[in-house]
A and B are shown apart, each in its own frame.
Chain A
Amino acid sequence: MSEPLLSVKNLEVEFDTYGGTVKAVRGVSFDVIRGETLAIVGESGCGKSVTVQTLMGLIPMPPGRITDGSATLNGKNILRLPPKEANRFRGVEIGMIFQDPMSSLNPTTTIGDQIAETLIVHRGKSHREAFNMAIELLEKTHIPEAAKRARQYPFEFSGGMLQRAMIAQSLACSPAILIADEPTTALDVTIQAQILELMLELQRTEDMSIILITHDLAVVARMADRVAVMYAGQIVESGSVDDIFYRSAHPYTLGLKAAMPSNTHERDKSLTPILGSPPDLFQPPPGCGYCTRCPHAMKVCADQLPDNMAVGEQHHARCWLQHESAPMIEALHQAG
């Protein structure tokens, strides 16, 4: 395995709210390798968006607070950069696209000008030069009649076209990493397929790494090389996409798979929901966060946080069932 491009170590983020302090991210570590897609998958409130927003410096502080951890890119800890330097990183080294492109584009400026602005600010291009480059970028994202579209305003674009424009903007400075935060959640399946295809194509041509944040395991299966499953502010399982889907080592991953209908089977297998709700991160439990919902919960799970235990090469799970003294659970070892 080559040297990681971005290395996040033990990231911890808290928020002060009216109700108290929410520990949104509780010690998250992952690496991003050049040219690969890392999917961070989890349900709402698991901390996956907060993690990447912290990397991009998009967390308002206060109420947010990074209590621990580092994120190393090109040998620099991007969490501790002075604001000016951090601004250079944002949009240049790392590009980002969001679930709702409408709210992240300025409604009073044309699409072309918004993309051009990035180039003027970060690359020092002239306006004319930058605008022409913006049209090229829009063509690259397969927006038909790019020259005409560049002179239009965001409200004249459909959801799918806006997401393409967002991608074009994020590509403006040829970032090494593209963070996609639920890029297709608001889109219909046919448009989702188009956008996912576009991202894969651009990843090849631009030699980018992608961090894909999603809740949809089907999108993960389509896109990811490696997967990190997040639950209650922690990565509970990480590994290659095949490890996660065919050799799941954490009951939560198994539970997620069992809760989804599979298209390959006739309608014989019933869905198995995960009972209960995720823990309240105002007061995270002392043990495993999944303990109260886990069908295989043991005494140790309630009291002690499991370590991130190696299951295979590059495959880790934060679960006591992987401990040598734990009983064998058939479901976990037959999966796949």
Chain B
Amino acid sequence: MLVRTKALKKHFNIGRGQTLHAVDGISLAIEENEILGLVGESGSGKSTFGKTLIGLHPRTSGEAFYRDQPLPANFTAGDHLRYSKEMQMIFQDPYSSLNPRMTVLDIIGEGLFIQGQHKSGEIRDRVAHWLQRVGLHPDHMSRYPHEFSGGQRQRIGIARAMIIEPQFVVCDEPISALDVSVQAQVINLLDELKQSMGLTLLFIAHDLSMVRYVSDRMAVMYLGSVAEIGPSNDVFFEPRHPYTRFLIESNPEPDPDLERQRAHQPIIGEITSPVNVQPGCRFADRCPEVMDQCRHETPQLIATSEGRQVACHLFD
């Protein structure tokens, strides 16, 4: 087990005495050299979970462990430096995640520089190596981010995270801002890096098909908590939690025949905001199989079969 969280919570004070329960008690474990996919709608707290886990947000309560060592609740610059060779992140927006005033050389070499490598020749060599590794030309290292396309910029972001050779990488929607043809470039690159460097990835995305394709295991989040977790194909082809079922039924297939055969009964209602949440199942309002129990008792993740857990009273 490389990374583990126990009842991790992240609440935001949004003023007027209201609290946003962005992440509300998540316990999960990520094995070494696996890709854990984290899916959910916007507002489900999946990005906040990733950022809290890696120390970009101080956590409200709960625990997080890296190689069974507890991670600090509130990361200082020193903590980040200490863990930088272990944990890195790839960001969603390839535009805002690269400083527009810095050259590609400075952006990718930043990690080496911060960690005390000040010989420009060595930084240059390593940056050139990594540019090639992510499929960019080393001659482009003196260029600025705005001269690159979205996919190229995302590859620069990957090179920046990878140059210090971390063990665990949080990928926060790394492909959702990219075109289809470019998404595959990035996915294949991540897959190749995982194989060659023995990486462990937390892959956060809202695209179910892509998460199923990329990840070994998949966790489905709804309003700050995990609804279901298990091997990707199992969860995708045999969803158990009613929310997962709806999510997968809503996911269109790039295949006209299949689409024609499918019964289209879209899920009613919309995700509510996780402000001042009451006890009970978060999905109760939209669930067609809602029971009395669901209204006042929060379901816990329960193992239903080998490697699979569901948080639903139907499986109690």
Contact = CB atoms under 8 A, between A and B. Distances in A.
A264 interface: yes
Contact of A193 (B179, B185, B250): B250
A277 B151 contact: yes
A256 interface: yes
Nearest to B183: A259
A222 interface: yes
B271 interface: yes
Contact of A263 (B185, B187, B209, B250): B209
A221 B253 contact: yes
Interface string A236-251: 0000011001100000
B32 interface: no
Interface stretch (B59-67, B82-90, B258-266, B299-307): B258-266
Contact of B258 (A196, A260, A264): A264
Contact of A255 (B181, B252, B267, B270): B181
Contacts of B258: 221, 264
B152 to A, nearest CB: 7
Interface of A: 43-44, 158, 160-161, 188-194, 196-197, 215-222, 224, 241-242, 245-246, 255-264, 266-267, 270-275, 277
B30 interface: no
A107 B152 CA distance: 36
A271 B179 contact: no
B99 interface: no
Contacts of A263: 209, 212, 236, 251, 253
Nearest to B40: A188
Given A197-B264, A271-B188, A160 B270 contact: yes
B42 interface: yes
A259 B253 contact: no
B208 A274 contact: no
B181 A259 contact: yes
A222 B181 contact: no
16 contacts: A188-B271, A189-B208, A189-B250, A190-B267, A196-B252, A197-B264, A218-B253, A222-B259, A259-B180, A262-B254, A263-B251, A267-B213, A267-B232, A271-B187, A271-B188, A273-B181
A242 B42 contact: no
Contacts of A190: 41, 246-247, 250, 266-267, 270-271
B184 A218 contact: no
Interface in B242-282: 246-247, 249-259, 264, 266-268, 270-271
B149 interface: yes
A260 B180 contact: yes
Interface in B195-241: 206, 208-210, 212-213, 232-233, 236
Contacts of B212: 261, 263, 267
Nearest to B191: A270
Given A161-B270, A222-B252, A188 B181 contact: no
B224 to A, nearest CB: 15
Interface residue tally of chain B, by bracket? 35 or more
Contacts of B246: 190
Interface of B: 41-42, 149-152, 179-185, 187-188, 206, 208-210, 212-213, 232-233, 236, 246-247, 249-259, 264, 266-268, 270-271
A112 B236 CA distance: 41
Contact of B255 (A158, A188, A216, A245): A245
Contacts of A193: 249-250, 252, 264, 266-267
Contacts of B151: 277
Contacts of A194: 266-268
Task: Determine which residue in B182, B210, B257 has the highest number of CB atoms from chain A within 10 A of its CB, and name it.
Answer: B182
Q: Shortest 9 CB-CB distances between A and B: which pairs?
A: A261-B213, A273-B184, A274-B181, A218-B252, A193-B250, A188-B41, A259-B184, A43-B179, A273-B185
A277 B256 contact: no
B41 to A, nearest CB: 4
Contacts of A273: 181-185, 187-188
Given A264-B255, A274-B184, A189 B206 contact: yes
Contact of A217 (B41, B180, B187): B180
B266 A261 contact: no
Contacts of B233: 266-267
A158 B268 CA distance: 14
A267 B183 CA distance: 17
Given A256-B180, A256-B181, A241 B256 contact: yes
Given A197-B264, A273-B181, A277-B152, A261 B209 contact: yes
Given A271-B188, A277-B152, A221 B254 contact: yes
Nearest to B149: A277
Contacts of A196: 252
A271 B184 contact: yes
Contacts of B187: 271, 273
A48 to B, nearest CB: 12
Nearest to B177: A44
Contact of A272 (B184, B236, B254): B184
A224 B259 CA distance: 11
A43 B188 CA distance: 19
A221 B151 CA distance: 25
A219 B152 CA distance: 26
Contacts of B250: 189-190, 192-193
A17 B232 CA distance: 47
Choose among A190, A220, A259, A266 the residue with the greatest number of B CB atoms under 10 Å from its CB: A190
**Which of A220, A260, A262 is the most central at the interface, judged by chain B CB atoms within 10 Å of its CB?**
A260
Contacts of B247: 189-190
